[in-house]
Amino acid sequence: MTSPVITRPAEPGESRPDAATDPRRQPRRARGLRRSWWGYLLLLAVGLVFLIPLYMLLTTSFKTNGEIYTWPMKWLPSELTFDNVREAWRIAPFGDFLKNSLIVTVVGATLKVLLAIFAAYAFAFLPFPGKKWLFVIMLGALMVPGHVTLLVNYITMGNMGLINTYAGLILPGVASAFGTFLLRQHFMSLPGEVFEAAEVDGCGHLRRLLSFTLPMSIPAVATVALVAVIDEWNNFVWPLIITNSVNMRTLPIGLMYLKSNDGLTNWGVLMSGTLIVVLPMLLVFLCAQRYIVSGLTGAAAGSGR
């Protein structure tokens, strides 16, 4: 910020005569580089601190045991093997884990987004006595620590006979205070003339929601959906409690099952199991980084301003 960093290379045609005629030009550039070299170094170091564990995960998954259990550490595997993945699949029913995770994530996130869309529309456009208070009460749920609700929710699910079922896995997590809040704020920022025109044309609320509100809110809905997908996929403590048979476990719990059933820690097998858990969310993140970052940090940007 303080030093003139070279972010945009000048056009060769205009910069070269400049550099030749202006003797200060060249040193200043060098000074910029010299001044920020530690910045690049720090940036590189920070990147490595977060990349190396991921690199270990990826390479160890495909390393042979001979190359994992050796010292000094072999940074580059000389041959790749799929034995670890096969072994992980043999020890633990990863097919079931994957299926359960997919069902819980797709159904859970879809329901969550639908509930949030309808609730947000209601809070934004429909009348109700005491609506403001209902909204405040709904937002208050954000302050309730989820960990404190586990025990009673488990008992509630038990009373409903939903322990070890998909419904039991999904139901307590589908209500969304944050998603509703985010979407309502977005809906209220949409141009009101469109809705007035729609009403004059005799459009009902459902039509107004489907044909006007949603098409104008795709980024906001995508944000809520992606955050929901990540939450559902990574959820750990609730699936751990509510399921009790191996074939109903989701991937994160299945990974723990693999860890306790692979004999003495077999790192190659464990890493390949971990990779199966991590990879889908890594891909989602790579494809939709912007939405996810803005969604997860969005609450911060709005706070206090």
Q: Using CB under 8 A, which of 36, 59, 64, 165 touches other proteins?
A: 36
Q: Under rule CB under 8 A, which residues in 190-209 are in contact with other proteins?
A: 192, 195-196, 199-200, 205
Told to check if 305 binds other proteins by CB under 8 A, we report yes
Q: Using the rule CB under 8 A, which residue among 4, 47, 66, 219 binds other proteins?
A: 47
Which residue in the set 98, 115, 203, 214 belongs to the binding site for other proteins (CB under 8 A)? Answer: 115
CB nearer other proteins, residue 109 or residue 230: 230
Alpha-carbon separation of residue 192 from 121, 123, 131, 221 (angstroms): 13, 15, 20, 19
Quick one: CA dihedral 97, 101, 102, 104, positive or negative?
positive
Among 230, 232, 243, 248, binds other proteins (CB under 8 A): 230
With binding defined as CB under 8 A, does residue 228 bind other proteins?
no
Q: Determine the distance from the C-alpha atom of residue 80 to the mean position of all C-alpha atoms in its chain, rounded to a whole number.
A: 30
Nearest distance, CB of residue 189 and other proteins, angstroms: 15
- Residue 144 is classified by DSSP as S
- Per rule CB under 8 A, is residue 118 in the interface with other proteins? yes
The encoded tokens of residue 57 equal 């995960």
Question: 197 Cβ partners below 8 Å, 6+ apart?
Answer: none
Residues 156-185 that bind other proteins (CB under 8 A): 156, 158, 171-177, 180
Instruction: Considering only residues 75 through 114, tell me which ones interact with other proteins, judged by CB under 8 A.
Output: none
User: Would you call the peptide bond into 72 cis, given omega within 30 degrees of 0 as the criterion?
Assistant: yes
Instruction: Measure the CA–CA gap between 272 and 194, rounded to whole angstroms.
Output: 52
Is 25 or 259 the residue whose CB approaches other proteins more closely? 259
Q: Does 149 bind other proteins (CB under 8 A)?
A: yes
Structure tokens at 164: 């070890």
**3-state SS assignment for residue 69:** coil
Q: How far is the CB of 14 from other proteins (least distance, A)?
A: 21
